[in-house]
A = this chain, B = another copy of it.
Amino acid sequence: MTTAILVAAGRGTRMGLDVDKLFLEVAGAPVVAHAWRCLDRSPEIDHVVLVIRPDLESSFRKLAEAHVHPSKPWSLTAGGPERQHSVSNGLDAVPTETTLVAIQDGARPCTSPLTLRLCLDAARRIGASVAAQRAVDTIKESDDASTITRHLDRSRLWTVQTPQCFRVDVIRRALAAVRVKGLLITDDTAACDLIGQRVELVECQDPNPKVTSRADLPLIDLLLRSIQC
């Protein structure tokens, strides 16, 4: 059984808006409704766990009725203070028969069914995978946020997105290692490093942007109108 964990507990503070970025309207529905719909429509996914802020429970129930019309079973669980706590809570809430999980950002509404399938295939094969694209930008490292410390070789760089997919035992062991060491991680594949688990980069061809600022919305609107989840 494959369960999707939709991480939708953030506050979108980077946008500096009153309205949660997950609930910004784009292509006729809130951002997070598109993200949920992508998972719900995928033949690979059997159940969707949404990790949300507890005060938004009724908003998500309304979202299901008004925009998503889910065809798969789903459940809500409360997020934690940081992403890794939200993912842990999501893992605690998956149906017991779950062997494979797809962790998806609630603010990433354009993920294609193909990307989701390829990521799940890779996780089934080697244990862990992540949707990725070759870096387009030239990237520099800086020690002081003021001058360049290290010029990185772009041909070796990948930007990683979600879905991040795992065999459920792998991600549970990895996050347990994070807890034992008291680390703060920004993405779940980094946790795999601690247990020596390889992570496959699944090159996705389709644009898979995340809503991080208002400037992202016009492109996302355009993409959503041209794809079908």
Contacts and interface: CB of A to CB of B under 8 A. Distances in A.
Interface in A121-171: 126, 130, 132, 135-143, 145-149, 151-152, 154, 156-161
Given A139-B139, A157-B140, A147 B199 contact: yes
A175 to B, nearest CB: 15
Contact of A219 (B132, B141, B218): B218
- By size class, the interface of chain A is 35 or more
A201 to B, nearest CB: 6
A201 B140 CA distance: 9
A145 B218 contact: no
A142 B160 CA distance: 12
Contact of A141 (B156, B189, B200, B222): B156
5 contacts: A130-B148, A139-B160, A147-B198, A215-B219, A218-B218
